Structure 1
């Protein structure tokens, strides 16, 4: 009697649930031709993506019978646990994009209880998509299907710039006029107005694609930016030629922030530039911070625009 009770109350329901999952997997395979099922996918009302993830865990733990493993393999099941984890994070990325309209997530961002911001940051690093070229290409395609600009670094700008650009588009779509977007107007906590003012002022420092995108939104460079060459702008900032230490330091800092997405630099850090030279970036920053009162307003503005709080100009009636 005990054996029958166990069979009907425990074994049989578990078997029936497994058969429901298997039938849903078979139906998906017959329709799509494979079992490349997104983690959040439901086949009808059945959570097929989650079920397949559970089967991979059982296979990895050795608790799945050989018969069940064979039956799933006949359907085209792959047991790669790395792809399983990627699929789960990809579902979180979709959820984040549905709310934010972008995958340019800050590091602390979460979705579906997963640290999607840190995960995306890791993927953008060299080799972050995996060492196998085919797998890396497939993952890049999956991310691009959610957001073509998921990795703005390859386009020549930072994740922070992309996040503000998407915020600008959201404000315009909501009915705001470009001249109404002034410092203090925010989107998802980002000051789009202040960012917009910087783009107008520093138009000549943007790459052609950035200028094209902002131009489509109705932006135009400030008059002085149209009349002043890049070389003259550098001299106006009091930094001389491109080989000037301050200019090289700014270039190294921009490169570091674009790669690491942070402004904190270790004292001993050395940044290698594309021309083969190096900048002792940690020392350079420390020296300029200690000599803040000897920097020009233009130099301080360049440093402040890169996010260095100590370089912020004091507001009238306030503190630095």
Structure 2
């Protein structure tokens, strides 16, 4: 299964189950103010954002995200997990990642009510598709894009089932909010109570013509996707990943950084971005999955194997996204 941030796999005829007006996909910026910071679970906080003049915010549909520009200059993507009908505010939720790139720590440690943020969006490439019934599988903070989908299915009276896994109940946000939804089945599977969920634990039954949405860490994604692959071919699978996908079929190569005069070795199982960050820790990046374009860099020499789905044909000859793309063979020379 091709795992990629904010790219979904669709295997059945579909239409968006949402307002008829499509969500705008081209980015646009605005300033918002943090109205509230709330602890939702262990190491998880939500931010409620509003317009500084209390004007209505742009519409969004379940699965949408915001690009958030943090005070440090870091850019990160966070799913909208509130109520799409509430245009007075947006809600995003962030888990602290101790060994991450510093964005989540900055949110937790420095952002307070009254602070202003620049955002871009909302944009949606993980849309909620009309179906006869739904199975949702979420792991940890992967509940954030799933929550509005479950709520929408509940409001529409469409049968749904949610399997929600996490390390412990204390680490799993929105359990109370989910328990209030009607018309479906909520299955909560903390690892400390049931053990790590296997494929059959996550997906033990799916009706034909159902739609399955999965979002979570790599192990959960792989288990759920493998299970769906063995089911009725009428089942449609849609996925979103919050962490960098593993490098597949990688070959080691060198990158020459012209501005610094250094050359870095990219291992067969690591991204070009990871190797570059060893030499340039402050290099810009965000999604690490070839979606946002933050790590786009000019290629001065060498042949690139493009693995992103963002760059246009006119950009590819002299640009690359270092988070996913690689060398086709031989050294690459980059404008870094």
Shorter-chain TM-score bucket reads under 0.3
When you count strand as a share of all residues, which structure comes out higher?
A: 2
Q: Which has the higher helix share?
A: 1
Larger Rg: 1
Greater relative contact order (CA < 8 Å, ≥ 6 in sequence): 2
